[in-house]
């Protein structure tokens, strides 16, 4: 092994050597700088690999030939090696990135850069507290120099403010060190402590050292100076400042804290306040680099929180802290480097990245890394952290961390939405090749780190799961034509189904058919798109991968990982819609909120045991069970869009692309239902203060079914109508699941199947109409029956099936439903559910009436039938519905038998003549025949009477003396159900939307008000730093005896 002291020696030596290079030979100076940084990185890499392979022991390097404390010693352990690598590699990449600026400023700037990186590795390795101070001062001076590499003139002022605050910090640090020495008689960190938590004597000394180190971490709110640097410095330097300086300073704080565990709560408190505070303030940022600054501050705060929990984390400490740190460092450096590719500083200017799809992929990767989504290190770390904290009775901290993470996800995904949806500037000059190269290297590092953490994790590696790999393969296939990719996608879905078929139990089988086979059917519609259709298949397949893994998940980890993967995939998919930017954001916000609830629920249930089998949910301790139930149920209900958590759905489903709407409606919603199913299967009888929790679910289901339907009838937009109807349908399903009896579950399963079929069919039909008419507003259409007969047939069949009139499968559902509720004893929700039936018919009627019947619009006279490939799946669905209506037993019988293992009572009896229940029987074939005969007779009668009919001309409409004030009001299909609105409109007031808007408004206003705290005055910043110390001291000394 090469001695680690060479890392420092090479940095320092090369910086001196630069002094001998001729001022004009910039190429040589730059080559020397790069060579030095590369050598430093390689030494660190060698040590890291050696530790990873288990070939190295933690080494102490003595300087000056004396053992500590008589001379400084450096230490190289696994953490030191990885951090040195992180620091040196960041420096190396940033040097290449800043080549132009470094050439402009010459060898002196390069020397300063080398000193900065050398000092950062020094901070990481040294075990001497005064040496720590010296390295920190070197960083201060180097930072003061490197800030000036920026072309932004404001950097000058930012640098001075930084120096002012750095002076205050260094005074405290030095006094603290001096008194620590006085108290301990040694400057070696290993000789310090343990110092008890106190604010006099040795305690005060350690307090000063710690508080100075904390101030280096830019704690909220004493961090205005750092934000100014982030905003104005060269992005190449900001990357170092965020990724390398932040990590090194954190490690310094960690080293000192490790000596005196009594002080850990202080770190936790400062960390979590910083994490939440900085994230809230970031909400109002429009400047990309300042936003990244806030986010950096927040992430370091999170890390400090984790450092503060090291007493609890034990052996997992390095894995967790390292995961968050690596994810933060790689993503933040990557984003800062990307910001150098963007010419202007507003978040919306990032739309320019669309010029290169790989950059958009990189952006998505970095955002996912910061939020802690799979398959990146932060995900594994978050999972373990939540589990250990929950088991250690620190649920409050889990809650705070997750709230902060959700806020961070909010602004990061909003930003991503800007980049993908906002207008890109014209006349784009092109990206610098070496800067882009650095971003790509970082991207690669991000995925590699994901693989490493997955490999290190005790849980399965997400990146070794076949469905995920298959989905990621589509990234490589992106250059192929869309139709070929479509074929591969269909083959993949069907192939996986065939491959896994023997392993499914009947419940999984139904969901697998819907997800995999159903997904393949919907993909048929995607043949309608030509060209390459960039960015469609990777997220779509990611969503399917998540879904396919979800239904097979045996442990809570796999379940949760699948859940996050499908959430992420579907977010990118929904975002593709032309107008879906805000809706995709609200989708991801609710989904992540739900996912975090699920994480907390699983962590609480597991109580420290990993892996945790899903089936073990049944054995959760009585005290924790109701909370587990509530957390999981809330999480799953964000996906089923139950009332209160539904506001994302209408926009997300309605604004999505034509073939995406059925995917996210017909298939994706089932994930939530599947989750609820698993939950109720294992924890269905959980009591909370004596009330069975399913009782609440019954109510939520009933209210969702009722209000969802009511909101649907007042829509003018056909796709929104269908979207609201999904809320209603999922409400039905939730209701019947929560009934907790045999028929209820059977019914829920019928809803799963039926909803997939008719919602997919209707979305495709409406999408086909939209493709021709270019409008989704129903009152702008009419009379399309003759022009689009196939679409009409599928809407008609869909409506018959959905509204539950005979003879189609909806009626079967109704029949089972009535049987199911007759055995239940909750009267009030049943009344709501009954009312939802006719309401469902009202909005469905409107769909067929306003689009296909009535007068044809002038501009629509030359329309053709919907595109062929959109019709193909619709016709398949029509055939299926007819078949399912005649022989429902084909599927349901097996499931019925399976449900009997949970509810032996109250099953159905399947005979050749029909299906018999306690209360009656249902003969699908007979019903089909009877209805057929009635239909044919009435049809013939109408034909016979047809000569009396009079063709109504357009404008043959009378008004009751009213003068129409807006053109659409002359159309009676507009505001079709006005009388109902008068009667029941108060029920659909957007109370829930108003509530959630108020939540975000309050957060935003708080942010806008609070950020005024950062006045921009260097003296104020210094005063804030001092105030921070004083407040901390007062609270601390007031809190300890």
Partner 1 sequence: MAEIAMMSGFALILLGIFGALTNRNLLRMIVAFSIASTGVNVVLVSIGYLPGRTAPILDAAVPLESAAAQIVDPVPQALVLTAIVIGLGVTALMLAYAYSLFRHRKSLDISDFTELKW
Binding site for partner 1 (CB under 8 A): 130, 134, 137, 140-141, 144-145, 153-154, 156-161, 163-164, 166-168, 170-171, 174-175, 177-179, 181-182, 187, 224, 227-228, 231-232, 1011-1012, 1014-1019, 1022-1023, 1026
CB of 22 to partner 1, least distance (A): 24
Q: Got the DSSP string for 984-1028?
A: HGGGGS-HHHHHHHHHHHHHHHHHHHHGGG--S-HHHHHHHHHHH
User: Between 788 and 1032, whose beta carbon lies closer to partner 1?
Assistant: 1032
Three-class SS state of 392: coil
CB of 158 to partner 1, least distance (A): 6
CB of 260 to partner 1, least distance (A): 20
- CA gap 966, 930 in Å, rounded: 47
User: Between 201 and 838, whose beta carbon lies closer to partner 1?
Assistant: 201
- CA gap 139, 163 in Å, rounded: 11
CA 274 and chain centroid, separation = 22
CB of 36 to partner 1, least distance (A): 22
CB of 166 to partner 1, least distance (A): 8
> For the chain, first and last CA: distance in Å?
50
CB of 1014 to partner 1, least distance (A): 5
User: Between 660 and 1022, whose beta carbon lies closer to partner 1?
Assistant: 1022
Three-class SS state of 867: coil
- CA gap 845, 795 in Å, rounded: 10
Phi first, then psi: what are they for 879, rounded to 5°? -60, -40
CB of 1019 to partner 1, least distance (A): 6
How big is the CA angle at 851 (ends 850 and 857), to the nearest 5 degrees? 95
Structure tokens at 412: 């990061």
CB of 245 to partner 1, least distance (A): 17
Contacts of 568 (CB under 8 A, 6+ apart): 368, 373, 374, 539, 542, 546
CB of 344 to partner 1, least distance (A): 17
User: Between 13 and 1016, whose beta carbon lies closer to partner 1?
Assistant: 1016
CB of 227 to partner 1, least distance (A): 8
User: Between 194 and 1027, whose beta carbon lies closer to partner 1?
Assistant: 1027
Task: Please report which helix (H) or strand (E) contains residue 835, including its range.
Answer: helix 827-852
User: Between 156 and 444, whose beta carbon lies closer to partner 1?
Assistant: 156
CB of 157 to partner 1, least distance (A): 4
- CA gap 370, 379 in Å, rounded: 9
User: Between 62 and 157, whose beta carbon lies closer to partner 1?
Assistant: 157
User: Between 170 and 975, whose beta carbon lies closer to partner 1?
Assistant: 170
- CA gap 468, 541 in Å, rounded: 8
User: Between 181 and 336, whose beta carbon lies closer to partner 1?
Assistant: 181
Q: Helix 5-18 vs helix 26-53: angle between axes, to the nearest 10 degrees?
A: 180
Note whether 666 and 759 are within 8 A (CB). yes
- CA gap 288, 336 in Å, rounded: 9
User: Between 145 and 546, whose beta carbon lies closer to partner 1?
Assistant: 145
- CA gap 416, 580 in Å, rounded: 13
- CA gap 45, 52 in Å, rounded: 10
User: Between 178 and 312, whose beta carbon lies closer to partner 1?
Assistant: 178
User: Between 192 and 839, whose beta carbon lies closer to partner 1?
Assistant: 192
CA 502 and chain centroid, separation = 33
Q: Got the DSSP string for 485-530?
A: HHHHHHHHHHHHHHHHGGG--HHHHHHHIIIIIHHHHHHHHGGG--
CB of 141 to partner 1, least distance (A): 5
- Name the one residue in this structure whose structure tokens are 């609201």: 724
Structure tokens at 541: 């397949």
């Amino acid at each position: 092994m090469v001695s680690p002291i060479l890392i420092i020696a090479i940095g320092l030596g090369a910086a001196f050597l630069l002094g001998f290079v001729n001022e004009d030979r910039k190429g040589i100076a730059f080559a020397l700088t790069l060579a030095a940084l590369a050598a430093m990185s390689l030494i660190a890499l060698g040590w890291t690999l050696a530790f990873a392979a288990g070939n190295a022991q933690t080494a102490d390097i003595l300087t000056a030939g004396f053992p500590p404390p008589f001379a400084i010693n450096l230490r190289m352990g696994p953490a030191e090696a990885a951090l040195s690598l992180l620091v040196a590699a960041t420096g190396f990449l940033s040097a290449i990135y800043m080549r132009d600026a470094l050439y402009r400023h010459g060898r002196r700037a390069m020397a300063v850069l080398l000193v900065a990186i050398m000092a950062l590795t020094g901070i990481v390795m040294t075990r001497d507290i005064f040496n720590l101070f010296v390295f920190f001062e070197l960083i201060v001076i180097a930072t003061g120099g490197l800030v000036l590499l920026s072309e932004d003139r404001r950097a000058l002022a930012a640098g001075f403010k930084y120096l002012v605050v750095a002076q205050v910090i260094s005074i405290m640090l030095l006094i603290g060190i001096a008194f620590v020495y006085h108290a301990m008689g040694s400057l070696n960190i290993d000789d310090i402590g343990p110092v008890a938590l106190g604010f006099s004597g040795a305690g005060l000394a350690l307090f000063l050292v710690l508080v100075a180190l904390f101030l280096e971490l830019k704690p909220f709110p004493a961090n205005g100076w750092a934000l100014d640097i982030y905003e104005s410095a060269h992005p190449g330097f900001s990357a170092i400042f965020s990724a390398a300086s932040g990590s090194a300073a954190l490690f310094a704080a960690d080293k000192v804290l490790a000596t005196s565990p009594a002080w850990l709560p202080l770190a936790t408190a400062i960390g979590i306040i910083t994490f939440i505070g900085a994230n809230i303030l970031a909400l109002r940022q429009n400047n990309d680099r300042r936003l990244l600054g806030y986010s950096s501050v927040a992430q370091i705060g999170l890390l400090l929180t984790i450092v503060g929990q090291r007493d609890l984390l034990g052996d997992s400490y390095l894995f967790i802290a390292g995961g968050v740190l690596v994810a933060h460092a790689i993503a933040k450096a990557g984003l800062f480097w990307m910001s150098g590719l963007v010419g202007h500083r507003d978040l919306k200017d990032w739309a320019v990245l669309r010029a290169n799809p790989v950059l958009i992929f990189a952006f998505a990767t970095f955002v996912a890394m910061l939020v802690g989504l799979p398959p990146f290190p932060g995900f594994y770390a978050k999972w373990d952290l939540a589990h250990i904290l929950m088991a250690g009775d620190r649920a409050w901290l889990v809650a705070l961390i997750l709230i902060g993470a959700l806020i961070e996800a909010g602004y990061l995904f909003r930003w991503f939405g800007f980049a993908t949806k906002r207008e890109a500037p014209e006349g784009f000059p092109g990206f610098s090749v070496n800067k882009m190269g650095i971003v790509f290297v970082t991207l690669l590092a991000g995925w590699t780190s994901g693989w490493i953490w997955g490999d290190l994790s005790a849980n399965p590696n997400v990146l070794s799961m076949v469905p995920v790999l298959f989905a990621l393969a589509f990234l490589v296939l992106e250059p192929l034509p869309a139709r070929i990719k479509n074929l591969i996608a269909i083959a993949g879905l069907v192939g996986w189904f065939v491959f896994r078929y023997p392993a499914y139990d009947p419940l999984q089988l139904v969901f697998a058919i819907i997800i995999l086979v159903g997904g393949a059917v919907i993909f048929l519609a995607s043949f309608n798109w030509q060209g390459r259709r960039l960015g469609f298949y990777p997220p779509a397949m990611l969503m399917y991968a998540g879904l396919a893994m979800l239904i097979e998940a045996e442990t809570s980890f796999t379940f949760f990982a699948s859940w996050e993967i499908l959430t992420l995939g579907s977010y990118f998919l929904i975002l593709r819609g032309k107008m879906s930017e805000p809706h995709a954001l609200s989708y991801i916000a609710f989904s992540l909120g739900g996912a975090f609830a699920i994480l907390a629920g699983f962590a609480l249930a597991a109580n420290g045991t990993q892996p945790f089998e899903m089936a073990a949910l049944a054995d959760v301790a009585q005290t924790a069970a109701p909370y587990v139930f509530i957390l999981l149920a809330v999480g799953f209900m964000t996906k089923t869009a139950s009332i209160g958590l539904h506001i994302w759905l209408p926009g997300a489903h309605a604004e999505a692309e034509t073939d995406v709407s059925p995917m996210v409606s017909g298939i994706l919603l089932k994930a939530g239902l599947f989750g609820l199913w698993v939950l109720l299967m294992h924890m269905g009888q959980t009591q909370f203060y004596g009330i069975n929790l399913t009782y609440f679910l019954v109510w939520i289901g009933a209210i969702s079914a009722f209000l969802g339907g009511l909101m649907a009838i007042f829509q003018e937009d056909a796709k929104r109508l269908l979207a609201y109807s999904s809320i209603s349908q999922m409400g039905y399903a939730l209701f019947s699941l929560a009934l907790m009896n045999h028929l209820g579950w059977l019914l829920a399963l019928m809803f799963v199947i039926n909803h997939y079929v008719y919602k997919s069919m209707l979305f495709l039909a409406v999408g086909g109409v939209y493709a021709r008419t270019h409008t989704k507003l129903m009152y702008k259409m009419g009379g399309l029956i003759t022009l689009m007969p196939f679409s009409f047939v599928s809407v008609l069949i869909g409506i018959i099936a959905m509204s539950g009139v005979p003879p189609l499968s909806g009626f079967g559902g109704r029949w089972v439903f009535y049987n199911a509720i007759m055995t239940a004893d909750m009267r009030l929700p049943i009344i709501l559910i009954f009312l939802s039936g006719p309401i469902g018919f009202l909005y469905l009627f409107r769909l067929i009436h306003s689009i296909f019947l009535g007068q044809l619009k002038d501009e629509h006279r030359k329309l053709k039938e919907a595109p062929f490939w959109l019709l193909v799946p619709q016709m398949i669905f029509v055939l299926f519905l007819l078949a399912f209506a005649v022989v429902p037993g084909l599927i349901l019988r097996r499931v019925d038998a399976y449900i009997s293992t949970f509810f032996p009572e109250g099953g159905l009896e399947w005979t050749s003549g029909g299906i018999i229940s306690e209360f009656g029987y249902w003969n699908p074939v007979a019903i089909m025949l009877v209805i057929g005969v009635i239909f044919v007779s009435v049809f013939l009668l109408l034909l016979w009477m047809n000569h009396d009919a009079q063709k109504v001309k357009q404008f043959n409409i009378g008004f009751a003396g009213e003068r129409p004030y807006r053109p659409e009001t002359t159309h009676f299909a507009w505001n079709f159900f006005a009388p109902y609105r008068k009667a029941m409109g108060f029920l659909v007031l957007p109370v829930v939307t108003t509530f959630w808007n108020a939540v975000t408004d309050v957060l935003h206003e708080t942010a806008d008000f609070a950020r005024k705290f950062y006045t921009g005055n260097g003296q104020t910043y210094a005063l804030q730093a001092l105030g921070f110390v004083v407040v901390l001291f007062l609270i601390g000394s007031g809190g300890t005896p």
